[in-house]
């Protein structure tokens, strides 16, 4: 299904995102500090994300957020401490 068909989604193919928190999938916890790329949107609104070109997982849009400029520069997700320090600066 074309990504454009999902008008309620804030993410587009090629967007760079990071996990907000660890995701539990079939009794396994998935967590990574890597930047993820949106590969596709499912017909139910899930987001298929990849890291280094390998499909990792389909997540709910509420489980990811767009990567910040600093995260793009550093090529990784910021820790909660780093995020909070950035908000104070």
Domains in the chain (CATH in brackets) are: 3-88 (2.30.30)
> Using one digit for the tens of pLDDT, what is the confidence trace for 32-88?
999 999 999 988 889 999 988 787 788 999 999 999 999 999 999 999 888 888 765
pLDDT over 70 at 4, yes or no: no
- Over residues 14-19, mean pLDDT: 95
Kind and range of the H or E run holding 54: strand 54-59
Q: What pLDDT shows up at residue 9?
A: 65
| Cβ atoms 19, 31 nearer than 8 A | yes
pTM of the model: 0.80
pLDDT value for 8: 52
């Amino acid at each position: 299904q074309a990504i454009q068909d999902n008008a309620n989604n804030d993410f587009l193919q090629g967007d760079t995102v990071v996990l907000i928190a660890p995701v539990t999938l079939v009794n396994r916890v998935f967590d990574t500090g890597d930047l993820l790329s949106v590969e596709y949107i499912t017909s139910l609104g899930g987001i298929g994300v990849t890291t280094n070109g390998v499909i990792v997982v389909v997540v709910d849009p509420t489980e990811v957020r767009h990567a910040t400029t600093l995260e793009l520069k550093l090529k990784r997700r910021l820790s909660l401490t780093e995020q909070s320090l950035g908000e104070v600066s």
